[in-house]
């Protein structure tokens, strides 16, 4: 049975790289009727931001990525890690390191000056047993290190094939901190073995961790999982995505009005080829070939493409679904919209569906309904105003009649159509582009539309 895990750390926010890792783990579990396990890496209590991982839970639920097992908190599994550590100690696979942070930094600086790779020199491993015992008895602070074999380690990665690591380039890894807590590297190894994880799908920034963790697997005679190290997501310039890049944070995308369906759709199809691009999660499970998108190449995040997916998904939503999602955003941005009956408000949102790329566009597109734009400077002296002056005064039985009269006037006015209709929009909604003129007029009503065309502020 396929068993995969998503193991985020609540020391920051979910970004697109996290989301893609979670998504691909979810998809492979769904495709192969396996288990999708959520494990919270909270061993470093000093760096916690999302206490209790509440935001992580909300983000996964919002994205529709339901885990089938967990959540497990590493901070609650110390007894399991202690058992493995004791086993390693009995088998003489680990040793106490009494070096202080200052001592380690001096050694590192010296190695760099000598143009040597900075690597722990195993000075504590070479300590006389008597000295080691005396330090321990005196309560000297220490950490446990795992003694790497003086060999090479070979792993198989779905994207990269066979990878060989020479441990001569690695320092003996630390398994504990001086406060007795367990490191990310050791806790991850223990959990992956204990939870019988069959596939480890994570970012390629963990590749060096994988080399060391595989040595821990070998030391315990445990079978290695299948590894898939995902390419780091880059911006248009080929640089690693950072907080400066729009859309890096899932929180930012949500606040900007992006739909979870669009985000998962985009991240699932990036790097692949699909006959149909707009796919629900269920359709992605059915159609995606995970082996085909396993690539060691760079993944470039394209905000414009994500926006395209989002617009397509907004168009795909039912009018009722769109209104339910957009209404809270509209009321937050334009409180006076609350005076409108909810049914009328929802009908308005649906009527201008084609104007939205994100849900944040809803209040921008509909603001004209409740907020009359200020009279444009010099509007009354423009050729367009002079041409429509009479039409902004006389009675019309419907918005359609007014629109048809203005359209007919545009043809015979001698004013370029683009300039004519842009000017009308500026008078009606305060912008030269926007919804269809007939929709604007009918939404405002004859009286309000004519007042705005007369330049009344």
**Domain stop point among 200, 230, 260:** 230
| Within-domain flag for 407 | yes
Range of the domain at 182: 78-230
Measured between its terminal Cα atoms, the distance across the chain in Å is 69
Give the per-residue pLDDT at 296.
58
Give the per-residue pLDDT at 291.
76
**Nearest-angstrom CA–CA distance, 143 and 180:** 8
Q: Do 180 and 142 touch, CB atoms closer than 8 A?
A: no
| Within-domain flag for 396 | yes
Q: Could you tell me which of 249, 224, 241 has the C-alpha nearest to residue 14?
A: 249
| Within-domain flag for 253 | no
| Within-domain flag for 370 | no
Burial class (CB in 10 A: 0-12, 13-18, 19+), 306: buried
What's the structural domain count of the chain? 2
Q: Could you tell me which of 188, 218, 186, 223 has the C-alpha nearest to residue 202?
A: 188
Give the per-residue pLDDT at 455.
86
Q: Tokens 């991850």 appear where? A: 188
Q: Which residues contact 389 (CB under 8 A, 6 or more apart)?
A: none
Rg of the chain over Cα atoms, rounded to whole angstroms, equals 31
| Within-domain flag for 220 | yes
**Nearest-angstrom CA–CA distance, 101 and 98:** 10
**Domain stop point among 230, 253, 282:** 230
**Nearest-angstrom CA–CA distance, 149 and 235:** 39
Q: Could you tell me which of 339, 395, 394 has the C-alpha nearest to residue 369?
A: 339
**Domain stop point among 205, 230, 255:** 230
| Within-domain flag for 68 | no
**Nearest-angstrom CA–CA distance, 134 and 311:** 69
| 3-state class percentages of the chain: helix first, strand second, coil last, to nearest 5 | 50, 10, 35
| Within-domain flag for 139 | yes
Q: Tokens 């400077």 appear where? A: 377
Give the per-residue pLDDT at 380.
87
Give the per-residue pLDDT at 27.
96
One pLDDT digit (tens) per residue for the chain, 457 residues = 999 999 998 878 899 999 999 999 999 999 999 999 999 998 877 777 778 899 999 999 999 999 999 999 999 999 999 999 999 999 999 999 999 989 999 999 999 998 888 899 999 999 998 999 999 899 999 999 999 999 999 999 988 899 999 998 899 999 999 889 999 999 999 999 999 999 999 999 899 899 999 999 999 999 999 999 998 889 888 888 888 888 889 999 999 999 999 999 999 988 777 889 999 999 999 988 887 776 657 788 999 999 999 999 999 999 999 999 999 999 999 999 999 999 999 999 999 999 999 999 999 999 999 999 887 778 888 999 999 988 888 889 899 999 999 999 999 889 999 999 999 999 999 999 999 999 999 999 999 999 999 888 6
| Within-domain flag for 282 | no
Q: Tokens 């990269």 appear where? A: 160
């Amino acid at each position: 049975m396929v068993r995969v895990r998503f193991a985020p750390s609540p020391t920051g926010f979910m970004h697109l790289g996290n989301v893609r890792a979670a998504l691909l783990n979810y998809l492979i579990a769904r495709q192969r009727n396996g288990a999708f396990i959520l494990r919270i890496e909270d061993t470093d209590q000093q760096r916690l931001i999302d206490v209790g991982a509440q935001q992580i839970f909300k983000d996964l639920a919002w994205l529709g990525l339901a885990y089938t097992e967990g959540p497990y908190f590493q901070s609650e599994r110390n007894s399991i890690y202690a058992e493995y550590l004791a086993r390693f100690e009995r088998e003489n696979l680990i040793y106490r390191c009494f070096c202080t942070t200052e001592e380690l930094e001096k050694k590192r600086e010296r190695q760099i000056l000598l143009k040597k790779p900075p690597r722990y020199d195993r000075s504590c491993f070479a300590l006389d047993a008597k000295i080691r015992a005396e330090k321990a008895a005196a309560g000297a602070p220490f950490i446990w290190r795992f003694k790497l074999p003086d060999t090479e380690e070979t792993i198989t990665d779905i994207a990269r094939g066979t990878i060989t690591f020479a441990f001569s380039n690695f320092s003996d890894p630390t398994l504990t901190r001086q406060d007795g807590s367990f490191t990310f590297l050791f806790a991850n190894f223990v959990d992956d073995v204990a939870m019988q994880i069959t596939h480890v799908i994570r970012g390629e920034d963990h590749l060096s961790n994988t080399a060391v963790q595989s040595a821990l697997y070998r030391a315990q005679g445990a079978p290695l999982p299948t590894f898939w190290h995902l390419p780091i997501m880059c911006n248009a310039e080929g640089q690693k995505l950072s907080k400066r890049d729009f859309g890096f944070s899932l929180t930012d995308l949500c606040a900007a009005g992006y739909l979870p369906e669009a985000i998962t759709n985009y991240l699932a199809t990036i790097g692949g080829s699909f006959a149909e691009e707009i796919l629900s999660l269920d359709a992605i499970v059915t159609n995606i070939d995970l082996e085909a998108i396993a690539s060691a190449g760079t993944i470039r995040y394209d905000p414009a493409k994500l926006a395209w997916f989002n617009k397509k998904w907004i168009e795909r939503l039912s009018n009722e679904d769109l209104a339910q999602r957009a209404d809270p955003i509209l009321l937050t941005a334009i409180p006076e919209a609350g005076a409108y009956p909810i049914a009328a408000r929802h009908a308005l949102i649906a009527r201008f569906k084609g104007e939205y790329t994100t849900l944040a566009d809803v209040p921008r597109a509909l603001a004209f309904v409740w907020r009359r734009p200020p009279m444009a400077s010099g509007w009354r002296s423009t050729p367009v105003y002079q041409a429509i002056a009479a039409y902004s005064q006389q009675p019309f039985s419907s918005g359609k009649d007014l629109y048809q009269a203005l359209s007919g006037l545009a043809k015979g006015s001698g004013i370029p159509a683009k300039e004519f209709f842009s000017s009308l929009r500026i008078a009606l909604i305060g912008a030269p582009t926007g919804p269809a003129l007939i929709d604007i007029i009918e939404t405002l009503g004859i009286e309000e539309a004519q007042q705005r065309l007369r330049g009344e502020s």
